[in-house]
Amino acid sequence: MQVGYARTSTEEQVAGLEAQVRDLEAAGCERIHMEQVSALGERPELENALSFLRAGDTLVITKIDRLARNTRTLGEIVEGLHGRGVGLKVLQFGKDTVDTTGAYGRLMLNMFAAFAEFERDLMKERQKEGIAKAKAELKYKGRKPTARAKAGDAVALFRQGKTVSEVAKAIGIGRGSVYRALEAAGLKETVSNQ
């Protein structure tokens, strides 16, 4: 059985997730696990996919970076799969997919993973250089503080009787940000009683 795994880093990347699911379906995946989380955090759907796979199955991904952010993590996942008799297929390269069940496929996967990690590191370096230049020119503003901008909405929803978790989910900020907004509005005691 071919089991697909699709991931985007943020919930805003809907089109990217849909494209991955489309490609996995076209590749013949009978089951697809998908999620919108950073590769750095917990990935429950990846864990579900890995738990579901049995000997003879193949995990299918569209691109290497959807599964792992570096070669070490990728190697650990692939080693775990192969130890259980499960293959890995990467669709990233068009009709020339990489299938890691053979030695050639494992070699190619490691090479591509190393290149992807190198490219990501270069991108980070360029980003740091750009930020440093913008700061030197007094043009750097950083990202917009979205939680602070939504503090008023958080307080209003809380006053309407919503719980902290409901407020956080409704306006798309973390629970800690909601607590800070409520504390700044003098509602700390009200939160403690909830």
Phi-psi group of 172: left, alpha or beta (phi > 0 → left; psi -120 to 50 → alpha; rest → beta)? left
- Partner residues linked to 130 by β-bridges: none
Q: What is the pLDDT of residue 99?
A: 67
Distance of CA 81 to the CA centre of its chain: 20
Q: What is the pLDDT of residue 50?
A: 95
CATH code assigned at 81: 3.40.50.1390
Residue 128 lies in a domain: no
Q: What is the pLDDT of residue 189?
A: 58
Pick the more confident residue, 31 or 193: 31
pLDDT at residue 139 greater than cutoff 90: no
pLDDT at residue 94 greater than cutoff 70: no
| Same domain for 159 and 80 | no
| Same domain for 97 and 11 | yes
Tokens representing residue 59 in the block? 């995990």
Active-site annotation, residues = 9
Residue 77 lies in a domain: yes
Is 92:63 a contact under the CB 8 Å cutoff?
A: yes
Q: What is the pLDDT of residue 176?
A: 87
Report how far residue 10's alpha carbon sits from residue 38's, in angstroms, rounded to the nearest whole number: 7
Is 62:20 a contact under the CB 8 Å cutoff?
A: yes
Rounded percentage of the chain residues whose pLDDT exceeds 90: 24
pLDDT at residue 192 greater than cutoff 60: no
Could you read off the pLDDT of 160-172 as tens digits, one per residue? Answer: 989 988 988 888 8
Is 114:72 a contact under the CB 8 Å cutoff?
A: no
Residue 26 lies in a domain: yes
Report how far residue 183's alpha carbon sits from residue 189's, in angstroms, rounded to the nearest whole number: 8
Residue 131 lies in a domain: no
Domain coverage including residue 71: 2-114
| Same domain for 177 and 95 | no
- In the chain, how many domains are there? 2
Prediction pTM value: 0.59
| Same domain for 93 and 6 | yes
Q: What is the pLDDT of residue 93?
A: 66
Tokens representing residue 74 in the block? 């990728």
Residue 134 lies in a domain: no
Q: What is the pLDDT of residue 119?
A: 79
pLDDT at residue 190 greater than cutoff 80: no
Could you read off the pLDDT of 96-122 as tens digits, one per residue? Answer: 566 666 777 777 777 777 777 787 788
Residue 181 lies in a domain: yes
Least reliable range by pLDDT among 40-44, 70-74, 80-84, 90-94: 90-94
Give the residue carrying structure tokens 């985007």. Answer: 8
